Structure 1
Amino acid sequence: MPTQPGYRYRRSAVTEARHGQDRVVAVRRRPRRKLIGVLVVIVLLVPAGLLAAKSLYGTMTGTVVDPETAAQSPVSPSPSLNPNDPFDGTPAAKYLPADQGIVVPTAVKAGVWSAKEVGTVLTKTKEVLLAARTDPKVLGGDPTSYVEALAPNVREQVKEAIVSGTDTLGYVTNLGAGYTLGAPIRGVGSLAVTTGSLKQLIVRADVVWVYPLAGPLPEESTGAGVRLVVLHTVESYEWFPSKGFADEDQGARPGEGERAVFNADCPKYLKGALALPATPVQDPVEGNEAVFVATTPLTSFPTGC
């Protein structure tokens, strides 16, 4: 079932945030003011309040999958599954660790940015993504390493959004209470570069993150991938050139994005954390292999919660 995106723009010193939440929860909206002073970009430093930077959570619409309704024709678990390998029997069995599975394209000149500068931004964006989605401290609820990788003038607001719980998964991945990683996170995806109207670089990251979780799971749950939570994120980060922009604007700024989740506990997901379903599931991957593929549209994910 197609997701219904909502829009939110990061607030700054003079702009208000416009909030959108997952389609399965109540949506609150606040108007945002029109930008002013954009035409003086060339000759003046532009403070944070004048940038049209959008929140990653802005169009981040969460599609959660209920394995009980998504799985088709449950069958007995395969005796060949390796109990010590949570990826066994799933497409993720062939995936690389997340830091190796994200493909960075060859850097080429883009707008006012040289090929070398684009390459640097691509590398830094990948580092930001890995901090957000795989750093052990971030997974445990401490977003410091991610927040410090962002532009100075968005750090406080982003941290507030993460800590609040409402916007957490729009920026970073947190694990639910009682859950840890049972193995290294695997991932597959790519980065792409475009330029914006203010000469900024916009890096779009389309990644499938596969989290093998150790922690509470009903004894009746069986089958391949039963301990995997799949999080597919399409995120963007904006980087502004040093010329014409203030120092506090330099660095990664979260932009538009959306996400979909498979085999997750709905109540915990809606509170900003990943956890395994609290009710028994059998062979959750059966018939849903496409959720592991980066080219699968998020609107094609089966829906549950």
Structure 2
Amino acid sequence: MPTQPGFRYRRSAVTEARHGQERVVAVRRRPRRKLIGVLVVIVLLVPAGLLAAKSLYGTMSGTVADPELVAEAPASPSPSLNPNDPFDGTPAARYLPAEQGITLPTPAKAGQWAAKDVGAVLTKTKAVLLSARTDPKVLGGDPTNYVDTLAPNVREPVKKEIVSGTDTLGYVTNLGAGYSLAAPIRAVGSLAVTTGSLDQLVVRSDVVWIYPLKGPLPEESTGAGVRLVVLHTVESYEWYPSKGFADEDQGARPGPGERAVFNADCPKYLKGALALPATPVQDPIKGNENVFVATTPLTSFPTGC
């Protein structure tokens, strides 16, 4: 059966972080085009330069206190934190487990896609995301469960990129050696649907994933959220209609995406894994609460690293 070429661009903004110190780096993959029986799918990664980052801190306003009175005033005691709850004292304390924290829009007809089909694609895309970011085997370094959710003709090239480290975190979440989950992952975010030029459905996700990690951490590190790594991903997946496209084109196809991270170890992040900062941090969340909010732009994550 004749088919239109399916293609994919993927951008990933890699944010390296140590205690809120990040640098955003953009990379772009060239378009991939598949003609049935003619071309082999090839995915390339090409650096595209550095993205500018902006500070989270806005303009401060209000009256200026008398420095002598401030010096005399007793300091407000910090609330004690529950040592068994890594989310305590952070915005994530009120967040739901990842599966419940990602909301879907009400399905509506889009192009040639009926509302019920749009709803089915939204549900499948959410499953793909959960597999990529929360599946225990994927977190441990085996991407098979995620790769199996993709369209057949993109599975092999995507798996090669993940395993090679070319853009591991652009597709899935891996935990660094010696790290495991201290509690279930929490998330907040949503999905949205549009149609592409070939009448494919394009599902865009915007999700903040909060990983409570158990593993190496300097003894001097203290404060709320000290064991939380925050990963904000903006990703898209494309779904092609069955009419005019081959069977191997059917399923989720990774599209454009970018990400940013907070309170993570820079060297390990660059190698495609999440881990806690190797240098001591104190009160990492204080003043950086906006990193937990899905509407916070990725370029507004704290700068540096």
Instruction: Determine helix, strand or coil for the equivalent of 1:207.
Output: strand
Counterpart position of 1:161: 161
CA distance in 2, matches of 1:255, 1:48: 23
How far apart, in 1, do the equivalents of 2:104 and 2:297 lie? 20
**Cross-structure match for 2:114:** 114
| Distance apart, 1:22 and its partner CA | 3.9
TM-score between the two structures when normalised by the length of structure 1: 0.80
Q: Is 2:294 the partner of 1:294?
A: yes
Compared CA separation, residues 18 and 125, structure 1 to 2 (3 A): closer
Q: Corresponding residue for 1:241?
A: 241
What is the aligned partner in structure 2 of residue 279 from structure 1?
A: 279
Counterpart of 2:187 in structure 1 is 187
Q: C-alpha separation between the residues in 1 aligned to 2:132 and 2:49?
A: 15
Tell me if structure 2 keeps the 8 A contact 1:104–1:190. Answer: yes
Higher strand share: 2
Query: Does the residue aligned with 1:212 lie in a helix, a strand or coil?
Result: strand
Alpha-carbon spacing, 1:20–1:185, altered in 2? closer, same or farther (3 Å): closer
Structure 1 residue 98 and structure 2 residue 98: aligned? yes
Match of 2:36 among 6, 28, 47: 47
- 1:109-139 CA-partner distances (Å, limit 9, x unpaired): 0001000100000000000000000000000
Q: CA deviation at 1:79?
A: 4.6
- Mark the CA change 1:289 to 1:27 in structure 2 (over 3 Å): closer, same or farther: closer
1:151 is the counterpart of 2:143: no
Distance in 1, Cα, partners of 2:199 & 2:40: 12
Q: Percent of aligned pairs with the same residue? A: 75
- Structure 1 residues 240 and 77, CA, compared in 2 at 3 Å: closer, same or farther? farther
Change (3 A) 1:31 1:139: closer
Alignment check: 8 A CA contact 1:53 1:255 kept: no
Alpha carbons of structure 1 residues 77 and 255: separation in structure 2 relative to 1, 3 Å: farther
- 1:297 Cα offset (Å): 0.6
C-alpha distance 49-229 of structure 1, shift in aligned 2 (>3 A): farther
Q: How do residues 1-305 of structure 1 correspond to structure 2 at under 5 angstroms?
A: 22=14, 47=36, 78-305=78-305
Counterpart secondary structure, 1:169: helix
SS at match of 1:197: coil
Q: Work out the CA distance in 2 between the residues paired with 1:135 and 1:246.
A: 29
- Following the alignment from structure 1 to structure 2, what is the Cα–Cα distance between the partners of residues 98 and 243? 34
Asked if 2 retains the 8 angstrom alpha-carbon contact of 1:230 and 1:263, the reply is: yes
CA distance in 2: counterparts of 1:104 and 1:215, whole angstroms: 33
- Where 1:184 maps in the other structure, the secondary structure is coil
2-structure distance, mates of 1:271, 1:282: 25
Q: Deviations over 1:8-47 (max 9, x none)?
A: xxxxx999999877486998888768x69xxxxxxxxx53
1:82-111 CA-to-partner distances (Å, cap 9, x unmatched) read 000000000000000000000011100000
Residues 126-163 of structure 1: CA distance to partner in whole angstroms, max 9, x if unpaired?
00000000000000000001000000000000000000
Q: TM-score, normalised by structure 2?
A: 0.80
8 Å CA contact 1:179, 1:213 repeated in 2:
yes
Which amino acid counterpart does residue 104 of structure 1 have in structure 2?
L
SS in 1 for 2:221: coil
The code of the aligned residue for 1:192 comes to A
2 CA distance for matches of 1:185 and 1:102?
Answer: 12
Gap regions ≥5 residues in structure 2:
16-22, 55-74
Shift of 1:279: 0.2
- How many residues were matched structurally? 274
Equivalent AA in structure 2 for residue 116 of structure 1: K
